[in-house]
Amino acid sequence: MNFLPESMRRPVVKTPRNLAEWLDLATRSLVPPAQARIRAEIETHYADAVQSHLEDGSSASAAQSAALADLGDAQAAAKRFRREHLTIGEAKAVGLRVNAARRTGLLFYALLIVLLSSTLVSLLQITEWAFEPALDGRFLFFPATILMLVLICAGLGIAADVLARRQSTLATTRQIFLIWTIMRLILQILTITMFTAQLIRGERFPELPYTDLIIKVGCGLGILGALMFIVPTNLADFRLRRKLASAREDDFPANPPDAA
Amino acid sequence: MYGAPMNFKGSLPTLILQNLSRGPNHGYRIAQEIKQSSKGVLDFKEGTLYPALHGLEAKKLITSSVREENGRERRHYKLTEKGRKALALERKEWLQFSGAITGLLKEAI
């Protein structure tokens, strides 16, 4: 069974021989509303260009070839269109998050953050630090900070859940996407903080058969792994959020493709 | 290379804004007017015009609407107030830049 959309199932044409092939190549990875808009505009443009070449005395086939050549490289145009419009992949990523929020996925996310925070707090033995000043160089581990993050996440989780139950519009999608990004960032910060805290505090599990070195190496690898995941995913999210912010209502599919 | 049309990829958005400062226009006519007003010196592939137009629209420098013209539906673009300000800034910067280059090149003669 082929799950690819119709436009992506056709074989890739490297050198378009006519307008239909040029448009296929230039728009194949874009969401259907963007494809429709570009097709309509370029079809009119092409018709005008053919007409102009015919008036200059070209034959019908020469006029069509010249108008196609005037459009230039379809792959270069495709690259530029991908920068300006949502691609099918990006719409799926957004749809996945909106649908997850609709299924109270963000509340689950918030619970996960609470769970991680609790683990962090117990790991750091908050009783030791509970009354230490916040700005003694370890303010990130200070319980008030953790509590604040938990409250923010719970609030954001509820807000996203309420938003997701409303009718899906571009504005709602943008809000849910922003909330999702913030919550994931907090979760990522907490994960790194946990590993860093363990690395700084050293051996905390005397009952386990791990040496101090193994724990330190494990935490170091954990931080490295988390950073390798965090940096590219957040960069991709940043680009997608920028695109969503400038997207037009008619550019966005009414029901984003559900990746679930 | 000399005498051949110049590649001006980065300046296309500014030239589009300049064209639209004279009034609303559609893609094909914008392309033809830019080529004609530069007497063929500035040439570009017309397929790259539309990503540039859509980019300007995303930045809210221009707006678009579909109108019927000679029985054909056409998307017309119009400069916004933000676009007008951006064009004034771009024009000022370009004149400063080109003035400096012209000055240097004249000095070399």
| Complex ipTM | 0.85
Q: Which of A69-83, B29-43, B89-103 has the lowest mean pLDDT?
A: B29-43
Nearest 5°: CA angle at A200, between A195 and A206?
A: 85
Residue A255: strand, helix, or coil: coil
Where is the domain boundary, A85, A101, A130?
A85
Answer yes or no: is A100 within a domain: yes
Q: Are residues A163 and A237 in the same domain?
A: yes
Q: Are residues A246 and A167 in the same domain?
A: yes
CATH code of the domain in which A189 resides: 1.20.140
Rounded to the nearest angstrom, the minimum Cα separation between B108 and chain A is 37
Residue B79 pairs with which residues in a beta bridge? B62
In angstroms, rounded to a whole number, what is the distance separating the alpha carbons of residues B16 and B23? 11
Contact B47 A49 (CB under 8 A): no
| Domains of chain B, earliest start first | 9-108 (1.10.10.10)
Answer yes or no: is A75 within a domain: yes
Q: Which two tokens stand for residue B36?
A: 């004609």
Share of chain A above pLDDT 90, in %: 20
Give me the residue from A22, A73, A81 closest to B51, CB to CB.
A81
What pLDDT is attached to residue A206? Answer: 58
Q: Which residue has the higher pLDDT, A186 or A250?
A: A186
CB contact at 8 A, B35 and B45 = no
Q: Are residues A54 and A72 in the same domain?
A: yes
Answer yes or no: is A258 within a domain: no
- Cβ neighbours of residue A80 closer than 8 Å, sequence gap 6 or more: B48, B51, B52
Chain B CA closest to residue A243: B58
Answer yes or no: is A152 within a domain: yes
User: H/E element holding A63?
Assistant: helix A60-71
Q: Are residues A169 and A60 in the same domain?
A: no
Residue A157: strand, helix, or coil: helix
Answer yes or no: is A259 within a domain: no
Rounded to the nearest angstrom, the minimum Cα separation between B25 and chain A is 13
In this prediction, residues B73-81 reach a mean pLDDT of 94
Q: Which two tokens stand for residue A215?
A: 């724990």
Q: Are residues A195 and A74 in the same domain?
A: no
Q: Are residues A114 and A144 in the same domain?
A: yes
In angstroms, rounded to a whole number, what is the distance separating the alpha carbons of residues A145 and A134? 9
What pLDDT is attached to residue A129? Answer: 46
Asked if the model's pLDDT at residue A33 lies above 70, the reply is yes
Contact B28 A247 (CB under 8 A): no
Q: Are residues A169 and A186 in the same domain?
A: yes
Considering its fold, how many domains does chain A have in total?
2
Q: Are residues A21 and A141 in the same domain?
A: no
Q: Among all chains, which residue has been given the structure tokens 């959309």? A: A5
Q: Which of A209-218, A221-230, B65-74 has the lowest mean pLDDT?
A: A209-218
Answer yes or no: is A63 within a domain: yes
Give me the residue from B31, B48, B59 closest to A80, CB to CB.
B48
Its domain, for residue A25, covers 6-85
What pLDDT is attached to residue A182? Answer: 79
Nearest 5°: CA angle at B50, between A92 and B52?
A: 90
Q: Are residues A75 and A97 in the same domain?
A: no
What pLDDT is attached to residue A124? Answer: 56
Report chain B residues whose CB lies below 8 A from the CB of A83.
Answer: 51, 55
Q: Are residues A160 and A105 in the same domain?
A: yes
Q: Are residues A162 and A236 in the same domain?
A: yes
Q: Which residue has the higher pLDDT, A168 or A255?
A: A168
CB contact at 8 A, B84 and B19 = no
Contact A72 B47 (CB under 8 A): yes
Residue B77 pairs with which residues in a beta bridge? B25, B64
User: What's the whole-model pTM score?
Assistant: 0.69
Report chain A residues whose CB lies below 8 A from the CB of B43.
Answer: none
Where is the domain boundary, A64, A85, A106?
A85
Of A7, A28, A33, A27, which Cα lies nearest the Cα of A251? A33
* pLDDT tens digits, one per residue of A109-161: 666 666 666 666 655 554 444 434 444 444 445 566 666 666 776 677 677 66
Q: Are residues A117 and A191 in the same domain?
A: yes
* pLDDT tens digits, one per residue of A232-257: 888 888 878 878 877 766 655 555 44
Residue B64 pairs with which residues in a beta bridge? B77
